[in-house]
A = this chain, B = another copy of it.
Amino acid sequence: MKSALDHLYAVVLAGGEGNRFWPLSRRTAPKQFLRIAGRKTLLQQTLGRIAPPLPPGRVVIVTNRAYQHDVRWQLHDALRRPDDIHLLLEPSARNTAPALALAAVHLLCHDPEAMMLVLPSDHAISPVSALWATIRRALPLAAAGGLVTFGIVPTEPTSAYGYIKRGAAIKGRGYRIAQFIEKPPPAVARRLIRRGGSYWNSGLFLWRAATLLEELSRHAPGFVAPLAAMERARGTRGEAAAVERAFGRMPSLSIDYAVMERTSRAVVVPARFRWSDLGSLTALSELAPKDRAGNVVVGEVITLDTADSILYGGRRLLAAIGLRDMLVVDTPDALLVCPKDQAQQVKAIVGELKRRNSSHYHLSHAETRPWGSFAVLEEGPSFKVKRLVINPRSRLSLQMHRHRSEHWVVVSGRAHIRHGSRTYDLEANESAYIPRMTKHRLENRTGRPVEIIEVQSGPYVGEDDIVRFSDDYKRVKGEG
C-alpha cells in the first residue's frame, strides 16, 4: 500500500528578489543564491533539507526565467543528479499564488494524487529532523483535504511577521484557523503572545495539489479562466505559449491573500523546528556565531568598545569603535551603515537605487555564472579589469565583442583558448590578446579552477556588448 509520502513533492519557491538583504543581495543576485554563512547558498541549503527523504525527481523549483541559469548552476554545484529536478519558469514575477498554481497544474499532470510541500528557498530552518517530524504530523491533515500552514511559536512581539490565531484542535495534529493577523503593531503582537495559541505564519505549506486549485478557483475568481486555459492547452502544440499567456493573466496575489485567509479548509500545524525568514540583514545574527560582546563578526574586523552589533566585513579591514546595536555590511562596491532596528529601511535605499537605475541595484560586484564567477576589480571610461574564475570542465560561450578588446593573463590553472580559428593552452603567467570582432572562447578542461585577470579595453565596456555563437547554457545576448 502506498503512503502519503509516495505522492509528496517539494515545491521550492526561488523567484524572490530579496531586496531587504541589500547590499549583499542584488537584482541579479537575490538572497537565495547567496553564500551568507558557510559553503552552501540558501537555495542549496533548502534543497539539502529535502534531498532525503525526497529524491530529486520529486522536487520542483519555481523561479523567475531570469534566474534559471543561476538555479541550474547551483543545482550542478550541490547535487549528484541535478537534472532530475524540474524547473518551472515564471515568465514574470507575479507573487506566490500564480507560482503555486503553476506548480499545482504541473504536478497534477503527472500525479493526480500529488501533495505539495511548499518551501521558500531563502529561509533558515533547523534541525532537519524536526522539519520532517512536523511534515509527517501534517500529512494526514493535508491528505484529508486541509490546506496546512506551519505555525512558528513566537519568541518576540515582532511586527515583521503575520500571525495566525488557532481555533479548534483537529485529531491532535493541528488546529483550525480562527484568524490571520497581518503584521500587527507591537502592542497587538504582545497581546497575542500573552494570550497564547498564536503562531507566526512561516510561508511553508502542505496540501493536495487538487485541493489548492479547487480553493483557488473558489476564492480567487481571477484564477478560473487562466487555469481553464492551461487545462485546455494541455498536450497541444501551443501548450508552452498558452501557459505563458495564462500565467500572465493570473492576479498577482500572495497565496495567503488569495486562498488561506478565505478558505474554510485552512489548518495550522505548530512547527517543531527553528525558523527565520531572514527578512532583514539583522538575521545575519542567526547565521553566524557571536563574539563575547555579542557582535556577529565576519571577515577581518577590529572592534573597540563595540557590542551587540553585526559587522559583516568584505575583503577589507573593518574597524569599529564605540558601536552599539549597529549593522555594518561591506561589499566590494557598496557599504551599508545603520542601527540594527532600522535594517528594514534598506528597502527604501534599494527603491532609490532602482529609481536611479543604479548598477548597485542591478549587479553584484562578484557574480556567479554557469561557468564560474567574475568580479569587477576596476572600471574606467574606456577599460574594465575583471578577475574570472572558470570552474573545472566548464567553458564560457563562443563569443565576440563589437567594441572591446580583451587582454587575458592566467594567474592560476591552465586555460584552453579558442581564438579565431586557432586553439591553444595558456598556463599561469601566460597571456593572450583578443582583438575586438574576433570570435573567442575560454575553457577549463582541467580538474582545478582557472583564474584569469581580464583587462577589457575599448570605447564601450558594458556587459551587453556580447554576441554569442554557441553556449552550453543556452543564453542570449547580454547575459554575461
Contact = CB atoms under 8 A, between A and B. Distances in A.
Interface of A: 23, 302, 304-305, 313, 316-323, 326, 328, 330-339, 342, 345-346, 348-349, 352-353, 358, 360, 377-378, 380, 382-383, 385, 387, 405, 407, 409, 411-412, 428-429, 431, 433, 451, 453, 455, 457-458
A175 B249 CA distance: 87
Given A431-B407, A457-B428, A333 B321 contact: no
B23 A412 contact: no
Question: In this complex, which of A318, A338, A382 has the most chain B Cβ atoms within 10 angstroms of its Cβ?
Answer: A338
B339 A322 contact: yes
B342 A378 contact: no
Given A335-B330, A338-B323, A305 B345 contact: yes
A404 B378 CA distance: 22
A325 to B, nearest CB: 11
Contacts of A317: 23, 333-335, 358, 360
A411 B330 CA distance: 29
A337 B338 CA distance: 10
Contact of A328 (B313, B333, B337, B377): B337
Given A318-B337, A335-B335, A407-B409, A453 B451 contact: no
Contact of A453 (B335, B337, B455): B455
B304 A318 contact: no
Contacts of A455: 409, 411, 431, 453, 455
Contact of A322 (B304, B320, B338, B429): B338
A380 B338 contact: no
Contact of A349 (B319, B339, B380, B431): B319
A134 to B, nearest CB: 37
A411 B456 CA distance: 9
A338 B320 contact: yes
Contacts of A349: 302, 304, 319, 321
B335 A318 contact: yes
B411 A429 contact: no
Contacts of A322: 338-339, 342, 345
Contacts of A428: 382, 457
Q: Count copies of this chain in the complex.
A: 2
A347 to B, nearest CB: 10
Contacts of A405: 429
Chain A interface, >50% SS class: strand
Contacts of A412: 380, 382-383
Given A317-B358, A411-B457, 12 more contacts: A302-B349, A302-B352, A316-B333, A319-B334, A319-B346, A320-B337, A321-B336, A321-B337, A321-B342, A429-B457, A431-B433, A453-B455
A333 B348 CA distance: 28
A385 B380 contact: no
Contacts of A377: 377-378, 385
A337 B319 contact: yes
A358 B23 CA distance: 27
Contacts of A345: 304-305, 321-322
A320 B458 CA distance: 35
Nearest to A378: B377
A362 to B, nearest CB: 13
A23 B319 contact: yes
Contacts of A346: 319, 321
Contacts of A323: 337-339
Nearest to A333: B316
Question: In this complex, which of A23, A332, A378 has the most chain B Cβ atoms within 10 angstroms of its Cβ?
Answer: A378
A417 to B, nearest CB: 16
A357 to B, nearest CB: 14
A360 B360 CA distance: 27
A339 B305 CA distance: 11
Contact of A338 (B321, B333, B433): B321
A344 to B, nearest CB: 9
B321 A409 contact: no
Contacts of A319: 23, 334-338, 346, 349
Contact of A326 (B336, B337, B451): B337
